[in-house]
Amino acid sequence: MDTSDPQITFSSEGYCNHCEDYLSMRGNQQSAKKGLKSELKAIVEEIKQKGKGKEYDCLIGLSGGVDSSYLAYLAVKEYGLRPLAVHLDNGWNSKLAVKNINNTIISLDIDLHTHVIDWNEFKELQLAYLRSSVIDIEVPTDHAIRAALYKTAEENGIEYLLRGYNRNTESIIPKAWTFLKIDRKNLLDINKKHGKGTLNTYPIIDSKRISALEKNGLKTFAPLNYIDFNQEEVEEIIKAELKWKSYGGKHHESVFTRFYQGYILPKKFGIDKRRAHLSTEICNEILSRDEALSLLKESPYDEEQLKLDYDYVVKKFDLTSEEFDQIMAMPIRSHFDYETEMKSKIRKKVLDPRNPVYRFFKQRRNLK
């Protein structure tokens, strides 16, 4: 990790706050290992009991990536659950993602509900985020996924939503690199100020709606946090059991995510997300720090693939390369430059000139 995270701190031993927090969490998890297994068993049994007489006893999101594919495998083969799989099609699926999803539902004999977003609406929303120059351009996708999952659960009377979140691979992500995915007000204001379309069918949710659903009995559960998750072993299992094939990068099942992480983030924001992913692997003793630093010397993007993806993304957005490059050159802005559901006290703290996040974005903005 480096100071592309403006809030990072380092101990006298050279550990950053992210690694210290992660190692502490992992230590607590290991010491509670037996308890976690018992808790997992109890929750699975509860899901089965509550789901008796229903067509499905739980809901899972399925992207075709490692975590969601393995979660589906565990739910059916290890836990004996009857999940309904939900996939959000935002128009950016790679061919390999589609194949992995199809192979998974066929291998596990589960039903799939695909929520297809109107492309013109979604395209204009993504373009609004690009023009807004905020850092988390993945909010439109992540927000829609969350909304689609909750809506499908409610429509089918499903009480348990199984998440593919996995601390072993996703814990180290600086807050300054992302934004609150369910901030409805922020999303709508960005679309209002920079978008050219209306969101008539795009799935929208907010924290109040989620709280209401949870009060009515909907529960979320992340099984991958209760087990020993080894990425290499997991990939071998899903390759053998689900005919799964690798994309070569985390969350690269989406063409846009691959382009965002490999090109937009490093070029415009000076952020290489591989730092966070590799730091997590170091903490899990999967590779050494020297090995990780060596990997960082390599380009985050295969040059040939970058050219293909650049042309594809620009064309899909109905932009010229000149128009896209102009968007990339626009000054960086904070999500807090727009309306937000966050309390005014938090907003005031973030916009305080003494706050390192504020100074970081102000400096980046002035460099453009």
Alpha-carbon distance 331 to 334, whole Å? 10
Is residue 75 within 8 Å of residue 83, measured between CB atoms? yes
Alpha-carbon distance 91 to 68, whole Å? 19
State residue 288 phi and psi, 5-degree precision.
Answer: -85, 165
102, amino acid identity: N
- The band of 250, judged by pLDDT with boundaries at 50, 70 and 90, is low
Could you tell me the residue range of the domain that residue 189 belongs to? 1-368
Is pLDDT at 50 greater than 60 in this prediction? yes
Position 35 scores a pLDDT of 74
CA distances from 184 to 91, 148, 226, 256, 339 (A): 22, 14, 31, 22, 9
If DSSP codes are grouped into helix, strand and coil, which group holds residue 258?
helix
DSSP states along 90-146: -S-B-HHHHHHHHHHHHHHT-EEEEEEPPHHHHHHHHHHHHHHT-S-TTHHHHHHHH
Q: Average pLDDT, stretch 179-205?
A: 95
Of residues 224 and 358, more confidence is placed in 224
What are the pLDDT digits (tens) for 270-325?
Answer: 999 999 989 988 888 888 999 999 999 999 888 999 999 999 999 999 999 999 99
Is pLDDT at 366 greater than 50 in this prediction? no
Number of structural domains, the chain?
Answer: 1
CATH number, residue 267: 3.40.50.620
The tokens of 112 are what?
A: 């799939």
What are the pLDDT digits (tens) for 115-165?
Answer: 999 999 999 999 999 999 999 999 999 999 999 999 999 999 999 999 988
Alpha-carbon distance 62 to 83, whole Å? 11
- The band of 89, judged by pLDDT with boundaries at 50, 70 and 90, is very high
Is residue 110 within 8 Å of residue 72, measured between CB atoms? yes
pTM score, whole prediction: 0.89
